[in-house]
Amino acid sequence: MKKVAIIGTVGIPPRFGGIETLAHNLSKELSDEFLFTVYCKKHI
């Protein structure tokens, strides 16, 4: 299984749109073919 890292999101599920929505949709739709790791910003 191929691995994909998504870096720089606020988090999933998407709350702000843009890259979060892309990360959510990619990981949901392609999870049978790829192993996704999503790196998010730490909430302070």
pLDDT confidence of residue 43: 64
Cα distances (Å, whole numbers) of residue 13 to 5, 8, 18, 28: 16, 14, 12, 11
Q: How far apart are CA 37 and CA 44, in angstroms?
A: 21
Q: How far apart are CA 24 and CA 38, in angstroms?
A: 9
Q: Which portions of the chain are predicted below pLDDT 50?
A: none
pLDDT confidence of residue 23: 84
Confirm whether pTM is higher than 0.75: no
